């Protein structure tokens, strides 16, 4: 069975015009926000993109649906290329792939009531001949909002209610894939759980595939089948959520997991703090781009970029000296692989 979504060696760049500073310093003004990302999604799967702010997660998703142009690589949806689409072809793609944007209230037009917001997708796609009031009632019911909510304006909604309206807009035209960009951002912890349960319920009820973009690992653990960890626009580890949480292979994954809040008040604080700052995309480090912050760095890491390596279970990672699976003792020293010929 072919993949629902397949991304291969995707590169997205911004800028590139020669400026006075670039002429003086000799450095390019071009920023590579996504640097050769590859992954595939099966129908019905939930895949998560994880990483710090600025790692390229949202840019990758926007390139996938044609909102940001790609410099190179390929993206296909149901076997058809999506890069370079425009006009009616792009409009058809946006009927099959919907996006939930980060800001719950800010992503909703203040000029429309909830009724207008939920009816708008039908009008845009030439489906205004339907009973739009019935469609609005149906969508409100699917996301757990009362009918009376239809006459409210966005500023009259709580953050959780606005997020549910955004979800309802996304599923209005029965898309095959929903991209949720930080679906719990700005919400109280109790409301976050409700939103995650709603997304899980809709996935099962409607047979949706989902691409979740987040830096909240509790979100990933709750909803994702597989995940990719991004750093400076590259995937440093890709695998099942269960396997990566049990023991990441890349030190950056270990650092992210160790920084995840521990709900048990009696648990001993056990953290692996990263040194230094995230490098500038205008001046990428030589070798492994994570080496300046890695607590396990060796000389080879400073000069040689690691290749993509695969575990027998299909997990992919880019590290010369990967951590031993299952060893995630943050307080101690995780086991790292000795230099092996197959990793050179």
Give the tens place of pLDDT for each residue, 8-67.
999 999 986 655 555 565 566 789 999 999 999 999 999 999 998 889 999 999 999 999
How does residue 224 score in pLDDT terms, banded at 50, 70 and 90? very high
Is residue 253 located within the same domain as residue 206? Answer: no
pLDDT given for residue 196 in this prediction: 92
How does residue 324 score in pLDDT terms, banded at 50, 70 and 90? confident
Is residue 185 located within the same domain as residue 51? Answer: yes
**Mean pLDDT to the nearest integer, 338-342:** 42
The three state secondary structure string of 275-304 is CCCCCCCCCCCCCCCCCCCCCCCCHHHHCC
How does residue 260 score in pLDDT terms, banded at 50, 70 and 90? confident
How does residue 277 score in pLDDT terms, banded at 50, 70 and 90? confident
pLDDT given for residue 337 in this prediction: 54
What is the tens place of the pLDDT at every residue in 160-176? 999 999 999 999 999 99
Is residue 213 located within the same domain as residue 252? Answer: no
Does residue 268 form part of some domain? no
CATH for 164: 3.40.50.300
pLDDT given for residue 21 in this prediction: 55
First to last CA, the chain: 34
pLDDT given for residue 261 in this prediction: 63
Kindly report whether the global pTM for this prediction surpasses the value 0.95: no
Is residue 132 located within the same domain as residue 207? Answer: yes
Does residue 271 form part of some domain? no
Burial of 86 (0-12, 13-18, 19+ CB in 10 A): exposed
pLDDT given for residue 26 in this prediction: 58
| Interatomic CA distance for residues 231 and 56, integer angstroms | 8
Provide the domain limits for residue 88. Answer: 39-68+81-231
Does residue 170 form part of some domain? yes
Contacts of 210 (CB under 8 A, 6+ apart): 45, 46, 47, 177, 178, 179, 180, 199, 203, 223
Q: How far is CA 279 from CA 22, 50, 252, 276, 300, in A?
A: 18, 18, 14, 9, 19
**Mean pLDDT to the nearest integer, 233-253:** 94
**Mean pLDDT to the nearest integer, 98-111:** 92
Does residue 302 form part of some domain? yes
pLDDT given for residue 266 in this prediction: 55
Does residue 16 form part of some domain? no
**Mean pLDDT to the nearest integer, 262-279:** 66
What is the tens place of the pLDDT at every residue in 78-92? 999 999 899 999 999
pLDDT at 202 exceeding the cut of 50: yes
Is residue 220 located within the same domain as residue 306? Answer: no
Does residue 266 form part of some domain? no
| Interatomic CA distance for residues 183 and 165, integer angstroms | 12
pLDDT given for residue 332 in this prediction: 42
pLDDT at 285 exceeding the cut of 90: yes
Is residue 120 located within the same domain as residue 62? Answer: yes
Is residue 223 located within the same domain as residue 253? Answer: no
Does residue 14 form part of some domain? no
How does residue 177 score in pLDDT terms, banded at 50, 70 and 90? very high
Is residue 106 located within the same domain as residue 172? Answer: yes
Is residue 207 located within the same domain as residue 253? Answer: no
Does residue 332 form part of some domain? yes
Is residue 216 located within the same domain as residue 188? Answer: yes
How does residue 263 score in pLDDT terms, banded at 50, 70 and 90? low
Burial of 340 (0-12, 13-18, 19+ CB in 10 A): exposed
- Per DSSP, the three-state class of 248 is coil
pLDDT given for residue 190 in this prediction: 85
Is residue 170 located within the same domain as residue 317? Answer: no
Is residue 120 located within the same domain as residue 197? Answer: yes
| Number of domains the chain is built from | 2
pLDDT given for residue 330 in this prediction: 41
């Amino acid at each position: 069975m072919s993949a629902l979504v397949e991304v291969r060696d995707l590169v997205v760049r911004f800028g590139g015009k020669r400026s006075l500073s670039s002429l003086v310093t000799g450095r390019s003004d071009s920023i590579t926000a996504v640097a050769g990302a590859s992954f595939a999604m099966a129908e019905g799967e939930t895949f998560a993109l994880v990483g710090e702010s600025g790692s390229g997660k949202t840019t990758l998703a926007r390139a996938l649906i044609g909102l940001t142009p790609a410099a190179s690589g390929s993206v296909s949806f149901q076997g058809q290329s999506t890069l370079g689409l425009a006009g009616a072809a792009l409009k058809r793609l946006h009927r099959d792939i919907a996006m939930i944007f980060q800001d719950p209230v800010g992503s909703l037009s203040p000029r429309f009531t909830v009724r207008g917001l939920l009816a708008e997708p039908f009008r845009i796609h030439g489906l205004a001949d339907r009973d739009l009031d019935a469609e609005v009632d149906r969508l409100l019911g699917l996301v757990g909002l009362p009918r009376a909510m239809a006459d409210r304006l966005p500023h009259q909604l709580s953050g959780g209610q606005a997020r549910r309206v955004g979800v309802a807009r996304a599923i209005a035209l029965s898309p095959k894939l929903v991209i949720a960009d930080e679906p719990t951002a700005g919400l109280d912890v109790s409301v976050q759980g409700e939103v995650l349960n709603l997304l899980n319920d809709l996935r099962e009820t409607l047979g949706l595939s989902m691409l979740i973009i987040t830096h909240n690992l509790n979100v990933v653990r709750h909803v994702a089948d597989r995940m990719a960890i991004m750093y400076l626009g590259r995937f440093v580890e890709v695998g099942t959520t269960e396997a990566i949480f049990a023991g990441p292979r890349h030190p950056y994954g270990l650092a992210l997991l160790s920084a995840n809040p521990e709900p048990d008040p009696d648990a001993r604080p056990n953290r692996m703090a990263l040194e230094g700052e995230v490098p500038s995309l205008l001046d990428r480090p030589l070798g492994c781009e994570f080496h300046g912050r890695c607590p396990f760095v060796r000389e080879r890491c400073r000069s040689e970029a690691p290749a993509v390596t695969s575990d027998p279970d299909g997990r992919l990672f880019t590290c010369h000296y990967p951590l031993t699976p299952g060893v995630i003792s943050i307080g101690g020293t995780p086991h790292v692989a000795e230099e092996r010929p197959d990793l050179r």
